[in-house]
Amino acid sequence: MIALLRTEFVKAARRTRTLIIALALVGLPTLIVVAIKARGNRPDRGDRGEGLFRLASQSGLLVPGAVLSVMSGFLLVVIAGSIAGDSVASDASWGNLRYVLMRPVSRGRLLAAKASVAGVLIWAATILVAIAGLIAGIALFGVHPVNVPGLSLGGTGAGFQLSTGALVARTALGAAYVAFSFSALLAMGTFFSTLTDTATGAIGATIGVYIVSEILDSISQLGVVRYGFPTHYSDAWTTMFTANTFSHDMIAGVVVQAAYFVVFSAAALWWFRTKDIRS
């Protein structure tokens, strides 16, 4: 199993695509930080849900959270979707899958290895964004505690201060939550990836499901149904910074993600072990 993990990792990591994604994940946070710096610290500026952004220039330690909050909604979804949707279908589209299985490698283990590699890459992508944000943030804004004003963020409570220690701890927890929130996407993408030999199809389907989920989630008339959407609790972690609370929604989010993960992993495993390999 270790051998399979290693060989699958090399196959995925050595792609030009992986390098381009890594560059984007370092470059974009840096650009965002430079943009915040350029805009200057003008707290009276109009605020349309920018939340963390308005505070980010107070401390480099808040930048990773700010950057993750913008990038996790779309860009990281696209990247995670590409990684997960590609997991099995890339080998299939090259025609190499049948040769790996003739090695002979158990189908269950191969799928587990491919999904694990995809999972590692998705976590790495999230962490890379956080680290790039942190480095750029510290470089431009330094390390300071943050004062969160009470009413400015639409909250009702009094303002509060986040120490540097709290910032670091909450940033780490937030990044982990963001990465974990791709668990449903990882399992779905892997499942779609076993269904087709065209990687783009699996990637498109995975990203599509997430975008539809986000759109439907914004329709409040759908009521409680929305609590089951894979994206519903995606932003639950931001209250750690904006309201000084650990929202119960984070626990709900973890439960929902875990449920999707189990269901789609089981489906992927069942299908991959049964299917005729034609590629």
Partner 1 sequence: MSDPIVSTEGLCKRFGEVKAVDDVTFSVERGQVYGLLGPNGAGKTTILRMLTGLERPTAGNLRLFGEPVTPSCAQLLRVGAMVEQAAFVPHLSGMLNLKLWWEAGGTSFADADLDNALAVAGLDSAIDRKVRTYSQGMKQRLGFARLLLSRPELLILDEPTNGLDPGEIREIRELIGRLTDDGATVLLSSHHLNEVEQVCTHALVINHGRLVADGTVSELIGSSGAVYVEVDDRDRAQAILAALPSVSDVQQQGDGLVVHMRDGRRSDLAAAITTAGLRLETLMPTQQLEDAFLDLLAAQEVAS
Query: Closer CB to partner 1, residue 110 or residue 256?
Result: 110
Pattern 71-110, binding to partner 1, x per CB under 8 A? --------------------x--xxx-xxxxxxxxxx---
Query: Closer CB to partner 1, residue 92 or residue 187?
Result: 92
Interatomic CA distance for residues 249 and 254, integer angstroms: 9
3-state helix, strand, coil in the chain (%, to 5): 75, 0, 25
- Positions 220 through 279 that interact with partner 1 (CB under 8 A): 273-274, 276-278
Interatomic CA distance for residues 96 and 101, integer angstroms: 9
Query: Closer CB to partner 1, residue 239 or residue 279?
Result: 279
Residue 278 CB, shortest distance to partner 1, in Å, is 8
6 binds partner 1, rule: CB under 8 A: yes
Residue 15 CB, shortest distance to partner 1, in Å, is 6
Q: Alpha-carbon Rg of the chain, whole angstroms?
A: 20
Interatomic CA distance for residues 92 and 116, integer angstroms: 18
Interatomic CA distance for residues 65 and 86, integer angstroms: 28
55-74 in b/e form (b: 16+ CB < 10 A) is: bbbbbbbbbbbbbbbbbbee
Residue 263 CB, shortest distance to partner 1, in Å, is 23
List all residues 6 or more positions away from 276 whose beta carbon is below 8 Å from its beta carbon: none
Query: Closer CB to partner 1, residue 96 or residue 163?
Result: 96
Residue 173 CB, shortest distance to partner 1, in Å, is 36
Residue 101 CB, shortest distance to partner 1, in Å, is 6
Structure tokens at 4: 């399979």
Residue 88 CB, shortest distance to partner 1, in Å, is 14
Query: Closer CB to partner 1, residue 17 or residue 226?
Result: 17
Query: Closer CB to partner 1, residue 49 or residue 95?
Result: 95
Number of residues binding to partner 1, judged by CB under 8 A: 29
Residue 96 CB, shortest distance to partner 1, in Å, is 5
Measured between its terminal Cα atoms, the distance across the chain in Å is 23
Interatomic CA distance for residues 174 and 178, integer angstroms: 6
Query: Closer CB to partner 1, residue 14 or residue 248?
Result: 14
Nearest to 133 by CA among 182, 167, 162, 183: 167
Structure tokens at 201: 């199809």
Residues lying near partner 1 in the complex (CB under 8 A) are found at: 3-4, 6-8, 10-11, 14-16, 91, 94-96, 98-107, 273-274, 276-278
